[in-house]
């Protein structure tokens, strides 16, 4: 197999697991209003429920680096998607039965393997990006946008067609499991290596060291902010729109528009990054995201939610992918730093649900979007931390 073909298959396989992870998540959030109604949850309680997905993810990410180093990406990818698919299938009947405890457990068990898959995807994506002559990481992350878009579109169609939530979750659970396991065969085979005590010590030291690096911490805050903005939209935009008078299908369609913009932005984002550089790409991403959230928040005055979602989505396109790419500038430290930022992502996810849910219950969900808006302003101020390290070969 030629090197070019190898990179092409590797790129396709990595993109596929970004796609399937997003399809699963989008299916859940697009039917979020149904989940909330079936479980009889108020806004604050829905916020607590939504916390369980990233809480499971945080539990999974703690072991992801060790698992991948021990067993390899192929085996871990197959195991994670088997567990996620089964848990997602079981989530449907639990929600339909109004069983909050079982629904919570299954949502936690979906989030746990998906965080490990997130780590696998970013490690493989960073590696194939470094192997390629062009910046292809935004395109790989663009596959996540395709999955979110398809999930939202499919959910809207299934809702209008009267397909039950249980059937929807079952179909998606089977599909993502099969496709993801097949995609994993494009990853490099795991070679068993005898790890010396000295090497183990270095790995432990690196894992601790990154939490004290100023640059890494600043980039982690940037990644945190973009994921908070993305997660806020994912969980709360459909619910906010239904509260504002949109139907469930209309809310899912609006959420789909949001992900159309993100997807197009990511598919074309590599060209932008190559032209203006990583730092300016992240700076403008933060500015556009902040503008979009502000327009969406002003729905009662401006009444242009679609414009807000377009700006919001445009800003979200390359912000987080380039944050991860910045952590991979040094191959020797890439695993530790990427594990760090993924951990921060799931900490972000845990805070999104309760924070926005509590503020939304007290003052309205549109006011609660002020939290990610403030974080975007912080991101713009510290975006210089993402400038490539000398010798990395990146712009």
CATH number for the domain including 220?
1.20.1250.20
Is the pLDDT assigned to residue 191 strictly greater than 70?
no
Q: What is the mean pLDDT of residues 71-100?
A: 94
The count of C-alpha atoms lying within 13 angstroms of the C-alpha of 72, restricted to the half-sphere facing its C-beta, is 12
Q: Is 165 inside a domain boundary? A: yes
Is residue 395 over pLDDT 70?
Answer: no
Q: How far apart are the C-alpha atoms of 295 and 158, rounded to whole Å?
A: 30
For 230-284, what is each residue's pLDDT tens digit? 878 877 888 888 888 888 777 877 877 887 888 888 888 878 888 888 899 999 9
Give residue for tokens 């989505």.
313
pLDDT at 215 over 70: yes
Domain-located, residue 220: yes
Residues with Cβ within 8 Å of 197's Cβ and at least 6 positions away in sequence, in order, are: none
How many domains, in total, are found in the chain? 1
**Tens of pLDDT along 305-316?**
889 999 999 998
Length of the chain: 395
Higher pLDDT, 149 or 375: 375
SS3 content of the chain, % helix, strand, coil (to 5): 85, 0, 15
1 assigned to some structural domain: no
Domain of 354 in residue numbering reads as: 8-186+202-386
Lowest mean pLDDT among 37-41, 175-179, 312-316, 345-349: 345-349
Establish if 191 belongs to a structural domain.
no
Residues of the chain with pLDDT > 70: what percent? 93
Residue 57 lies in a domain: yes
Q: What is the chain's mean pLDDT, rounded?
A: 85
Residue 392 lies in a domain: no
pLDDT at 244: 81
The pLDDT score that the predictor gives to residue 193 is 45
Which of the two residues, 202 and 175, has the higher pLDDT score?
Answer: 175
| pLDDT for the residue 380 | 95
CA dihedral 160, 163, 167, 171 (to 10 degrees): -50
192 in a structural domain: no
What is the model's pTM?
Answer: 0.73
Task: Categorize the per-residue pLDDT at 379 as very low, low, confident or very high, splitting at 50, 70 and 90.
Answer: very high
């Amino acid at each position: 197999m030629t090197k070019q073909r190898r990179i092409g298959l590797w790129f396709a396989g990595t993109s596929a697991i970004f796609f399937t992870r997003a399809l699963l998540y989008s299916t859940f959030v697009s039917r979020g209003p149904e989940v909330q109604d079936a479980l009889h949850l108020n806004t604050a309680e829905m916020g607590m429920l939504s916390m369980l997905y990233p809480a499971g993810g945080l539990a999974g990410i703690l072991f992801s680096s060790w698992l991948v180093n021990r067993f390899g990406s192929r085996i871990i990818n197959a195991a994670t998607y088997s567990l996620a698919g089964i848990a997602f299938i079981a989530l449907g009947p639990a929600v339909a039965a109004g069983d909050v405890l079982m629904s919570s457990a299954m949502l936690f068990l979906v989030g746990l393997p998906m965080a490990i898959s997130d780590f696998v995807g970013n490690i493989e994506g960073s590696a194939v990006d470094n192997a390629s002559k062009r910046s292809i990481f935004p395109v790989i992350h663009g596959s996540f946008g395709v999955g979110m878009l398809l999930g939202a579109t499919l959910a809207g169609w299934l809702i209008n067609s009267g397909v039950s939530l249980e059937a929807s979750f079952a179909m998606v659970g089977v599909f993502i499991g099969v496709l993801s396991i097949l995609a994993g065969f494009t990853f490099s085979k795991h070679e068993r290596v005898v790890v010396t005590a000295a090497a183990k010590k270095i790995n432990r030291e690196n894992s601790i060291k990154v939490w004290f690096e100023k640059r890494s911490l600043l980039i982690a805050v940037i990644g945190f902010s973009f994921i908070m903005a993305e997660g806020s939209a994912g969980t709360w935009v459909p619910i906010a729109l239904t509260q504002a008078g949109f139907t469930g299908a209309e809310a899912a369609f609006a959420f789909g528009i949001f992900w159309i913009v993100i997807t197009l932005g990511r598919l074309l984002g590599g060209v932008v990054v190559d032209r203006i550089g990583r730092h300016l790409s992240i700076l403008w991403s933060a500015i556009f995201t902040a503008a979009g959230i502000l327009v969406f928040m002003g729905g009662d005055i401006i009444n242009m939610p679609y414009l807000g979602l377009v700006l919001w989505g445009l800003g979200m396109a390359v912000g987080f992918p380039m944050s991860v790419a910045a952590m991979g500038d040094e191959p020797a430290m890439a695993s530790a730093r990427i594990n760090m930022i993924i951990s921060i992502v799931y900490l972000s996810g845990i805070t999104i649900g309760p924070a926005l849910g509590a503020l939304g219950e007290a003052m309205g969900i549109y006011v609660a979007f002020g939290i990610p808006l403030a974080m975007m302003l912080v991101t713009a101020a510290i975006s210089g931390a993402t400038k490539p390290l000398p010798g990395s070969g990146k712009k």
